[in-house]
Amino acid sequence: MTGSTSTPSGRSTRPRVVDDYGLLIPDEKRFPGGMKPTFDHIRANGQKPGIYLNPGVPKAAVDQNKPIRGTSCRARDIAAQPLTDGNVFRNTYKIDYSHPCAQAFIESQADQISGWGARFLKMDAVSPGSSDTSGIDNRPDIEAWSKALRGRDIWLTLSWAVDVRYAQDWKRWAQGWRIDTDVECYCETLVTWTNSVDDRFTDVLPWIQHAGPGGWMDLDSVNVGNGAMDGLTDAERQTYMTFWAIEASPIYVGDDMTKLDDYGIQLLTNREVLAIQQRGNPARPVSTATQQQVWYAKHRGGSYTVALFNLGDAPADVTVNWDDLGIRGSAHDVWAGKDLGRVSGSYTAKLDRHGSALLTVRPRR
């Protein structure tokens, strides 16, 4: 989309350009044929195209007082008075949703992206949250977008670090919600372990109880496809993928898809791991008192997912005591692809620094 790009600090870098109805215009240099041909190509490749927007009405639409499609209203009619920033990036004005044409403007945006063939919408700079201290509240925007997207096959995810105090609102109106800032480090690699993959192990804790059918914790993109580009060791890459899977986080790849290495492809396409993610049952820690941790989830039918993590900076043993969890059955090492036999007493994995093991336990018959 043509529009202001934003730095991690949220400052706009250029003005947004809008069409005759106040809708953002695609960048003609990047998308010379427009968005629909681009999205058609993506969908023909078996993928789901997505788009990125921010809450509010574009400032250019209000400044030029553009008409709202299908109504007799104009952009200034729906802008809250006095004019107020609509999100923390300050590239839109706040919308007055008491005005009958406010929802019509959101519907016109939804019509636009749906007509292109979008199947994913990331709504960024959503508050409360997103490091906002100005008191901006985008919940009315998200409710309006939720209404506009009903009946459309478009997944709505909220970003970048929405406030857990409003978890029930986010779950009511969106399919996913980011629990933290970007996982990318904005450095010479995509991520590093400390910036900020390891943060997710503590950030998910207050959110686990809210995740489930209808709304999911979004831990951000999975950047495990190329070791050199990712900035991670192989052990860290496996831990990254393991944690996203056991927390039922939406999995979308952040790597350059043309440069995936063999190990990265193995991580991203392991059917057992993806099946765990698809069960939609976020795991919980036994304890977070040390850096050697056990996380588990009990599923319907009595099976368990058990993950062992060494978050420390040196190799270490990590032990799960089966009796503490009340687990009986036969264990299977998912990443190694081998059966471990019946569980008894405890199981110890020798893990590299930042390493992991992923087990499934099937109940005894």
Give me the domains of the chain, ranges plus CATH numbers: 35-284 (3.20.20.70), 286-362 (2.60.40.1180)
Q: How many CA atoms are closer than 13 Å to the CA of 38, on its beta-carbon side?
A: 17
Terminal Cα distance for the chain, rounded: 56
Mean pLDDT throughout 128-138?
Answer: 88
- C-alpha separations of 66 from 12, 26, 116, 148, 252 in Å: 21, 17, 22, 20, 36
pLDDT tens, position by position, 255-311: 999 999 999 999 999 999 999 999 999 999 999 999 999 999 999 999 999 999 999
Rounded CA separation 263/227 (Å): 9
Res 4 pLDDT > 60: no
pLDDT of residue 15: 60
Res 14 pLDDT > 60: no
pLDDT of residue 13: 40
Res 365 pLDDT > 70: no
Q: Which 8-state DSSP code applies to residue 192?
A: B
pLDDT of residue 117: 97
